[in-house]
Amino acid sequence: MPDYDVIILGGGPAGISSLLWCRSLNLSGLLLEQAPELGGQMLMMHHPIADYPGLLPGNGRELRDHFENHLRQFELEWQTGCHIESVNVAGRTVSCNGRQFSAQALIIATGAQRRRLGVAGEEEFRGRGVSDSATRDQLMLAGREVCVIGGGDSAFDDSLILARVCPRVTLIHRSSQFRARRVWMDEVFSHPRISVICNAEVREIIGNQERVSGVVIEDAETRAVRTVPAEGVVIQIGIAPGTEFLAGQVELDSDGYIKTDQRQRTSVKMVYAVGDVTRPVCLSVATAVGHGAIAAKDIAERLRTTSVES
């Protein structure tokens, strides 16, 4: 017999919701999280959260605390700091920290991580001017000339946040097509302290011993290279799914997100995927939580009918 009804990989809101719903549906569950603490991308939300029904947390960490307390109240089983050595998706076994666990069903809730530019200086100057959150780091960046990299909502939102405390903000984007919402674009393009550079690829982030001093960009058309002075650089170029460990085992889309149907079923029997790892239409805690409920419900139904039939 497998050790559990369900093993859940990932301890963000989708994984946590899955574990809670397993309990409600009388399924034994184990949640494994690689990071030292639960929360996933909730821990990257540094602003007040106004659209999660019933709670008005000051930031994602506060929301995570509510979720974790909920798990504790029901004495559910989870482990953090898990080094996942291997996952046999079809066999529904997971090797983690030298132990092997098996289950009747697997829920993959490994989320998505921030994309990296992959240029020199990006990691070197992290914490010395390079940031991935204006909300969190605005005090560190206040009073400085800054660049924001990206063309989506996050880059535009961060540019507007920084323009309140910085004398000059330069938004740098690799094309002239933006993903950001119209209202933020209008505000950014007309803001007296924000300038926008389009069609520019970041080649390097430079600086001295102490901190960042500029961003080297190359014009996508003319190939001219120049340096934009900056004492702070906020990189907001979206997220990518955490699915490398699944390559060849489950069907992924061209960007590496797991393909699912409406019940969160993947291409492999009794294997589900929930939350950001599935590229939901609306990236949000609420969507992730809903996915967890759907997957657990479908698993419970399948296990019930299987045992009735056998």
Residues at the site binding ligand NAP, with contacts judged by CB under 6 A:
115, 117, 150-155, 157, 174-175, 177, 179, 236-238, 283
Nearest-approach distance from CB 235 to ligand NAP, in angstroms: 8
Based on CB atoms, which residue is closest to ligand NAP, 23 or 174?
A: 174
Write down the least CB distance from residue 255 to ligand NAP, Å. Answer: 10
Q: Which residue's CB is nearer to ligand NAP, number 3 or number 218?
A: 218
- Cβ-based nearer residue to ligand NAP, 171 or 271: 171
Phi and psi at 42, nearest 5°, equal -60, -30
Residue 264's contacts (CB-CB under 8 Å, 6 or more residues apart) are: 107, 272, 273, 274, 278, 291, 294, 295, 298
Closer residue to ligand NAP (CB): 34 or 135: 135
- CB 43, min distance to ligand NAP, A: 15
Residue 175 or residue 305: which is nearer to ligand NAP going by CB? 175
SS3 119: coil
Q: Which is nearer to ligand NAP, 84 or 283 (CB)?
A: 283
According to DSSP, residue 259 is labeled P
CA–CA dist 285, 275 (Å, integer): 8
Distance in angstroms (rounded) separating the CA atoms of residues 9 and 82: 10
Pairing label, strands 93-96, 84-88:
antiparallel
In degrees rounded to 5, what are phi and psi of residue 254? -65, -20
Give the nearest distance from C-beta 297 to ligand NAP in angstroms: 26
Q: Give the torsion through C-alpha atoms of 245, 248, 253, 256, to 10 deg.
A: 20
| 275, burial (CB in 10 Å: exposed 0-12, middle 13-18, buried 19+) | buried
Q: How far is the CB of 132 from ligand NAP (least distance, A)?
A: 10
Other CB atoms within 10 Å distance of the CB of residue 46: 16
> Which residue, 104 or 138, is less far from ligand NAP as judged by CB?
138
Are 306 and 84 in contact, with CB atoms under 8 Å apart?
A: no
Task: Tell the smallest beta-carbon distance from residue 292 to ligand NAP (Å).
Answer: 19
